[in-house]
Structure 1
Amino acid sequence: MQNQAVELNSVIYNAANQSFEALATVYAGTSSRSFACAINAPIDMSFKDAAKGLSTQALRRFNGNPGLSSVHPLGIPSPIVRAGRSQPRKVIDAFDMLRQLAA
């Protein structure tokens, strides 16, 4: 059995649904898989117990039917994207353009 680590991000309490919700990422081997997890629980539940329940749900989904999930291979850097642009914009120097027009 391989060792699986669980990382919980954006843990919140949804008062409308009376549940704790989080984005759980399970790391195993050379890949990771992210799941949106939620457990029904009262607002006064300790964070430790909520984290344990969310982690258990993430591991069950990882080992069983994943449903909707996101898979990320580790070790392959993704290209840096800034503000939705994949390539940097070419900046035009206005003074250089005027010099070329005057010449």
Structure 2
Amino acid sequence: VDLPVWDGEWHEVCATWRSTDGAWQIYMDGFLQDSGSGLNVGGKVRSGGTWILGQDQDKVGGGFDTNQAFSGELSQMNLWDFVLTQAEIWTDSCGQHGNVIDW
């Protein structure tokens, strides 16, 4: 998904994923940008792992390519164990704190 975030402004980006049917959605500034289904149906996000922000990693333990690195600022990374509704994303997600990760 190509998101137009390189304009010098802060943006809110939200990705949702539901294990039961693999439904996923990408929002930017509260507006749906893309969606689909069938992504890792039945998959689980296991505890004890490491979250990598701002870098593409092709496999667990794999190397990093500096040409694929994010250059900018990140703030308010949150993770929930449920899918936020579009209304929650639109109205108040910047004021919410994830119940799994709150950074």
Which protein is richer in helix relative to its size?
A: 1
TM (norm. structure 2) is 0.24
Query: Rg: which structure is higher?
Result: 1
Greater strand proportion = 1
Q: TM-score, normalised by structure 1?
A: 0.24
